[in-house]
């Protein structure tokens, strides 16, 4: 019996020990959680229901140089209702339910009748819906109206009224410079200025305490943010919205006329490198649109517009003079196993011509043979490549947009770059290398700027609340890309292209411009015959030629109608842009007072005008027109003789009809009516005829004056 009792006691003690041990472990764990890990677990528990979520800042604006909005954020609101708000009064809800249903059906949505809204609201109230959607994309004026609705006017807690602020990016000018302005999306790479300056425009997000009311639904605990967001800064671009419109419309008309695939045009300020307009238009299933920034992101073989760089290399290295003679072999020449052919019909008639004329008619053979002659032997090809690099043609421009395509200039005699015996002559005419339109325009802009190369840029200022926080000044890439004499000779050649060369059909007597045409085969194979050849037409230049203000490049890809050469496709677009610029921009016109005054011929001087002597002398003195003093008398006649003016006396007698021919109406009426004559007038201008002959005795007659 004692043994059994002892066994039972042992078992009881063991069980008690286990229980005590478990209790101690639970107590220890509780102490650890409460004391040592309390903050951690309380935060984790709270985060299941309440946590801070980001409040996005207002995105900064992108503006044209005159302050016009290119991209701005418009506020929109989402309206929801919390039917389980703690402070909501059920009696007050029932009393105002009908009025709220009427307001929603009348002013918010016609998707429900008044009765339908009443039933819906009652249903969601019974279900305890904490995040019931009233309306999305509510404008600010609409929000002000909805806030005054019954129940909603009680606010966040008593009325369950939830307002979620949102923003939508808006481009007031739609497609103008759309790709350059760009965008930022969660599901894609950032594009354009929006992408490059995303951090500047985006600002800093704030924080707001949010409460989870369902599986993935969070509502703000209160209307105030705990940490206020910092709004983004604004960008002021170099874009001139009027010039942008001119460039865009000219390019679009050209693409439609030639049924092209796509095209680009850039207008740049010569002195600063500021891009005043940039347009990229391509064909899409929905029509013409800016879908890709060809000006910056697409590097292609430029064709003959690159001949300007090859010629500057020859001039800078002292290999040619413009009046040197060169054989062009009637427009055909063999380089190793490949034949180079000119496109100009004039070349086929010439065996020999001058370097100047060869450039003006864009002879491939002339340029290829010159480069091959001076750089093709004794490993001198490296000198040609070095010279091209001295023009910065091997480097990106560094424009403030992601995705600039790098230029490709082959390294001399490099197997990796597929260098061959025909590389030099073909590079000289714009093949076996690639550059973007902007990179090539930067070179032409330097030529227009007498050799000073400027960095292209799109943003001139960063602002905060209208005040500048950073000014971006023009940047000089290179003080002088070549000797002034070399640049001046190239300028002569580019002017000759327009005056008597491949672009002579584009010349105008209103102003002078300079440039180079370009026509490149897109799918060529060293000029071997090939079916379905596609072309790229281009024109690069600047205006006015004598004092350049703007440089411009136009590129049209795959024109199918009305020609394919640069001079007949891209050139007219360039000319239209230049014409419109001259018609609208005062800076392109020379002030009339900067030149000395020309001597006026007799037919340009005032003659036979009659009036009061003091008035005539006052006008002539104001216009700084020399004249001989008149004899005494109240009335004078202006007499022009050779290049001088004299004032002769006009006598008015009191008893006879005077001669008032040549007078203005005011003076004629004054004299005739004071002499007692009645005056009838027809026409406008000065007196050309009077019905009563001068010298006739005055008897109170009526005199008719004819003015012209």
pLDDT, tens only, 416-460: 999 999 999 999 999 999 999 999 999 999 999 999 999 999 999
363 DSSP assignment = -
Q: CA-to-CA distance for 306 and 299, rounded, in angstroms? A: 13
CATH dotted code for 52-179+202-232: 3.90.1310
Q: Is 536 helix (H, G, I), strand (E, B) or coil?
A: strand
Average pLDDT over residues 235-247: 96
The torsion defined by the Cα of 655, 661, 667 and 671, in degrees rounded to 10, comes to: 10
Is residue 618's pLDDT more than 70?
A: yes
Q: Which residue has the higher pLDDT, 337 or 48?
A: 337
Q: Residues 6 or more apart from 159 whose CB is under 8 A from it?
A: 85, 88, 151, 152, 153
Name, of 203-217, 435-449, 514-528, the range with top average pLDDT: 435-449
Average pLDDT over residues 645-664: 81
Which token pair is 269? 């300020």
Confidence bin at 256 (pLDDT 50/70/90): very high
Contact 529, 523 (CB under 8 A): no
C-alpha 3 chain-centroid distance: 104
Which helix (H) or strand (E) segment holds residue 578: the answer is: helix 570-584
Average pLDDT over residues 220-242: 79
- β-pairing, 234-237 with 62-63? parallel
Low-confidence winner among 11-25, 207-221, 260-274 (lowest mean pLDDT): 207-221
Backbone conformation region of residue 141, classed left if phi is above 0, alpha if psi is from -120 to 50, else beta: alpha
Contact 481, 453 (CB under 8 A): yes
Q: CA-to-CA distance for 263 and 222, rounded, in angstroms? A: 53
In 3D space, the residue among 578, 549, 554, 577 whose CA is nearest the CA of residue 566 turns out to be: 554
Low-confidence winner among 54-63, 289-298, 689-698 (lowest mean pLDDT): 54-63
Residue 269 has what pLDDT? 98
Which token pair is 227? 């940490």
Average pLDDT over residues 159-182: 85
pLDDT tens across 585-613, in order?
887 877 665 655 555 444 445 555 777 77
Backbone conformation region of residue 558, classed left if phi is above 0, alpha if psi is from -120 to 50, else beta: left
C-alpha 104 chain-centroid distance: 44
Low-confidence winner among 101-110, 128-137, 208-217, 497-506 (lowest mean pLDDT): 208-217
Q: CA-to-CA distance for 195 and 639, rounded, in angstroms? A: 72
Which token pair is 134? 């009233």
Q: At what angle do helices 307-316 and 437-448 cross, to 10 degrees?
A: 40
Polymer length in residues for the chain: 708
Mean pLDDT of the chain: 87
Residue 58 has what pLDDT? 83
Which token pair is 140? 């600010």
CATH dotted code for 652-708: 3.30.10.20
Q: Is 241 helix (H, G, I), strand (E, B) or coil?
A: helix
Low-confidence winner among 214-218, 390-394, 472-476 (lowest mean pLDDT): 214-218
How much is the pTM? 0.74
Contact 442, 456 (CB under 8 A): yes
The H-assigned helical ranges of 261-380 are 294-297, 307-316, 355-360, 364-375
Average pLDDT over residues 55-82: 87
Q: What is the DSSP string of 378-396?
A: TTTHHHHHHHHHHTTTTS-
Which helix (H) or strand (E) segment holds residue 517: the answer is: strand 514-521
SS3 content of the chain, % helix, strand, coil (to 5): 35, 25, 40
Q: Which residue has the higher pLDDT, 226 or 9?
A: 9
Contact 154, 96 (CB under 8 A): no
> What are the phi and psi torsion angles at 305 (to 5°)?
-65, -20
The H-assigned helical ranges of 627-692 are 665-674
> What are the phi and psi torsion angles at 497 (to 5°)?
-60, -40
The percentage of residues in the chain with a pLDDT greater than 90, rounded to a whole number, is 54
Is residue 184's pLDDT more than 50?
A: yes
Domain 244-587 homologous superfamily, CATH: DD-peptidase/beta-lactamase superfamily (3.40.710.10)
Q: Residues 6 or more apart from 289 whose CB is under 8 A from it?
A: 175, 178, 281, 282
pLDDT tens across 269-321, in order?
999 999 999 999 999 998 999 989 999 999 999 999 999 999 999 999 999 99
In 3D space, the residue among 182, 197, 208, 191 whose CA is nearest the CA of residue 232 turns out to be: 197
In 3D space, the residue among 650, 645, 606 whose CA is nearest the CA of residue 626 turns out to be: 645
CA quadruple 218, 223, 226, 229: dihedral sign: positive
Residue 229 has what pLDDT? 72
Is residue 528's pLDDT more than 60?
A: no
Which token pair is 30? 């509780």
SS3 readout for 82-137: CCCCCCCCHHHHHHHHHHHHHHHHHHHCCCCCHHHHHHHHHHHHHHCCCCEEEEEE
Contact 453, 392 (CB under 8 A): yes
- β-pairing, 514-521 with 644-649? unpaired
Q: Is 679 helix (H, G, I), strand (E, B) or coil?
A: strand
């Amino acid at each position: 019996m004692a043994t059994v009792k002892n066994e039972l006691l042992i078992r009881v003690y063991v069980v008690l020990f286990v229980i005590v041990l478990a209790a101690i472990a639970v107590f220890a764990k509780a102490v650890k959680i409460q004391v040592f890990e309390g903050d951690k677990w309380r935060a984790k528990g709270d985060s299941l229901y309440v946590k801070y979520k980001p409040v996005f800042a207002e995105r900064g604006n992108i503006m044209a140089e005159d302050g016009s909005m290119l991209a701005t954020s418009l506020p929109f609101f989402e309206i929801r209702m919390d039917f389980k708000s703690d402070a909501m009064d059920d009696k007050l809800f029932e009393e105002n339910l009908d009025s709220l249903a009427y307001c929603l059906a009348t002013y918010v949505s016609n998707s429900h009748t008044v009765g339908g809204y009443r039933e819906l609201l009652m249903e969601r109230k019974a279900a305890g819906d904490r995040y019931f959607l009233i309306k999305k994309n509510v404008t600010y004026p609409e929000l002000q109206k909805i806030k005054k609705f019954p129940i909603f006017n009680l606010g966040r807690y008593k009325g369950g009224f939830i307002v979620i602020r949102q923003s939508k990016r808006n481009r007031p000018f739609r497609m103008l410079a759309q790709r350059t302005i760009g965008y930022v999306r969660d599901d894609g790479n950032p594009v354009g200025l929006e992408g490059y300056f995303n951090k500047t425009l985006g600002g800093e997000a704030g924080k707001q305490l949010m409460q989870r009311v369902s599986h993935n639904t969070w509502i703000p605990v209160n209307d105030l943010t705990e940490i206020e967001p910092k709004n983004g800064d604004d960008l002021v671009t170099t874009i001139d919205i009027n010039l942008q419109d001119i460039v865009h419309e000219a390019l679009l008309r050209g693409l439609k006329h030639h049924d092209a695939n796509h095209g680009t045009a850039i207008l740049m300020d010569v002195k600063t490198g500021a891009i005043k307009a940039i347009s990229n238009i391509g064909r899409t299933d929905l029509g013409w649109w800016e879908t890709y920034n060809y000006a910056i992101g697409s590097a292609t073989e430029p064709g003959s517009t690159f001949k300007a760089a090859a010629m500057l290399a020859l001039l800078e290295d002292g290999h040619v003079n413009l009046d040197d003679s060169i054989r062009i072999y009637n427009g055909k020449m063999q380089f190793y196993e490949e034949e180079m052919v000119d496109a100009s019909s004039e070349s086929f008639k010439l065996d020999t011509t001058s370097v100047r004329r060869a450039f003006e008619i864009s002879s491939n053979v002339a340029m290829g043979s010159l480069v091959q002659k001076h750089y093709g032997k004794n490993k001198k090809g490296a000198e040609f490549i070095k010279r091209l690099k001295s023009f910065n043609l091997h480097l990106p421009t560094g424009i403030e947009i992601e995705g600039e395509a790098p230029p490709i200039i082959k390294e001399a005699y490099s197997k990796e770059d597929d260098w061959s015996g025909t590389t030099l002559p073909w590079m000289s005419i714009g093949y076996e290398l690639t550059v973007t339109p902007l990179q090539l325009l930067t070179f032409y802009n330097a030529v227009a700027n007498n050799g000073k190369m400027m960095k292209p840029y799109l943003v001139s200022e960063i602002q905060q609340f209208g005040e500048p926080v950073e000014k971006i000044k023009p940047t000089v890439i290179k003080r002088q890309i070549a000797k002034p004499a070399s640049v001046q000779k190239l300028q002569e050649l580019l002017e000759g292209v327009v005056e008597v060369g491949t672009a002579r059909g584009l010349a105008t007597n209103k102003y002078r411009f300079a440039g180079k045409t370009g026509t490149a085969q897109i799918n060529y194979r060293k000029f071997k015959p090939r079916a379905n050849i596609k072309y790229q037409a281009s024109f690069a230049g600047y205006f006015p030629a004598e004092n350049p203000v703007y440089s411009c490049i136009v590129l049209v890809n795959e024109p199918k109608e009305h020609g394919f050469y640069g001079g007949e496709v891209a050139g007219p677009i360039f000319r239209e842009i230049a014409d419109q610029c001259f018609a609208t921009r005062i800076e392109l016109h020379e002030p009339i007072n900067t030149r000395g005054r020309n001597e006026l011929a007799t037919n340009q001087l005032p003659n036979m005008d009659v009036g009061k002597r003091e008035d005539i002398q006052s006008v002539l003195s104001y216009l700084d027109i020399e004249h001989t003093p008149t004899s005494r008398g109240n009335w004078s006649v202006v007499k022009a003789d050779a290049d001088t003016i004299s004032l002769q006396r006009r006598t008015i007698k009191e008893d006879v009809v005077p001669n008032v021919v040549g007078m203005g109406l005011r003076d004629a009426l004054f004299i005739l009516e004071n002499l007692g004559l009645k005056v009838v007038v027809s026409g406008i201008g000065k007196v050309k005829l009077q019905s009563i002959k001068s010298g006739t005795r005055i008897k109170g007659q009526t005199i008719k004056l004819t003015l012209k």
